[in-house]
Chains A and B, each alone.
Chain A
C-alpha cells in the first residue's frame, strides 16, 4: 500500500515550538510505517526547506515536487502516478493517526473485489466527529459532524462499518487500478468535491465505498488552507451527479 500526502509544508505553533503538520502526521504512523510499501509526499514549491530535508531522511518516504498553482486533485494524481503499491491511500497533511492497525484494516477491506474505496472516522482535536463518511441528499455533505461517538444515540451509526455514499478525500483509500480506470481525481475540481466525484466514478464501475470507523485519524480540518467552494466546482458536480442528490439510500 502506498500513502500519498499532498502538502505545502504548513506549520503550527505548539507551546512556542514550530511543528510541521506533514512531519507530525508521519511521526503519528508509528509502527504502521513498516507495513507500508511507500509514502509519497507531494510538496509545493514553497514547502519550507526544513520540511523537505526532514522528509528525505524518513524511511519509505519519497518526495515529489509540485510547482503548479494549487490544485488538490492534480497533486493527488501526481502522487498516484508515482505510487507503485496496489492500494493508494490519500491522506491530508493536517491529520494525525489515532488508531493502530489501519494498514491491515484497509487491506482487509480490499480483499472484497466489490469494494472500490475505503475511508475512516475523522475526529476533531476535541474528539468529536469531523467526518463519518458523506451523505449526498439534498446536496453532498459530511456526515456526523460534531457528534460524539460515545453518545448511545449515535454510537451504532457512527461506530459500525458500513457502505457509505461518499468518503472524505482527506482519508481515501483506493485500488491503484481502479483509480487509473476512472481517470483519478478530476482536475477541474481543484479544491472541493473532488472526493465526491471520485466516489461516484468508482460507484459507476459497480464498486462500493466503505466507511470503517476503526480506522481513526484526527483531522485539523482546513488548517492548511482556506475552506472555499468554487461556483464552477458546484456547477460541475451537479452537472455530473445531480440525480443522486435527490435521495440518499445509504444514510444510516
Chain B
C-alpha cells in the first residue's frame, strides 16, 4: 500500500474537518430555524395578549358605561313624579295597616 500512516491520518483529518463543518452548519441552520419559529410563536402570543387586553379594556369601558346609565335611570326614577304620586296613593293603605295592629 503506497500510503504512509501520516497520509492516512491527514486524509481522515481532512474528511473529518469537512464533515464537522457540514455538521456545524446543519446544526446552526437547525437552531436558527428553531429560533425563528420560537420568535414567531412569541410574537403570536404577544399579539394575542395585546388583543385580549384591548378586548378586556373595551369590555370594562362598556360595563362602566352601562352602570352609569343604569345609575342615571334609577336616580331619574327616584326623582320622578310617578314615585311621588305612588307615595301619596299608598298613604291610606299604610294608615289602614297600621290601624289594624
Binding site for B on A (CB under 8 A): 77-78, 80-84, 176, 180-188, 200-201, 204, 239-243
Contacts and interface: CB of A to CB of B under 8 A. Distances in A.
A183 B15 contact: yes
Given A81-B8, A182-B15, A184-B8, 17 more contacts: A77-B5, A78-B5, A80-B1, A81-B3, A81-B5, A183-B14, A183-B15, A184-B11, A184-B12, A185-B12, A186-B16, A187-B12, A239-B24, A241-B23, A242-B26, A243-B26, A243-B27
B23 A242 contact: yes
A187 B13 CA distance: 10
B20 interface: yes
Given A186-B12, A243-B26, A180 B3 contact: yes
B9 interface: yes
Given A77-B8, A181-B11, A182-B11, A240 B1 contact: no
Contact of A176 (B1, B19, B27): B1
Nearest to A246: B30
A240 B5 contact: no
B10 to A, nearest CB: 7
B12 to A, nearest CB: 3
Interface size class of B (residues with CB under 8 A): 10 to 19
Contact of B10 (A183, A240, A242): A183
Main secondary structure of the interface of B (DSSP, over half): helix
B13 A183 contact: yes
Contacts of B24: 239
A239 B22 CA distance: 10
B15 to A, nearest CB: 6
A180 B23 contact: no
Interface string B40-57: 000000000000000000
A83 B15 contact: no
24 contacts: A78-B5, A81-B1, A82-B1, A83-B1, A84-B1, A180-B3, A181-B11, A182-B12, A183-B11, A186-B16, A187-B9, A187-B12, A188-B16, A201-B12, A204-B15, A204-B19, A239-B20, A239-B24, A240-B16, A240-B23, A241-B23, A242-B23, A243-B22, A243-B26
Nearest to B22: A243
Contacts of A200: 19
A69 to B, nearest CB: 15
A52 to B, nearest CB: 23
Contacts of A241: 19, 23
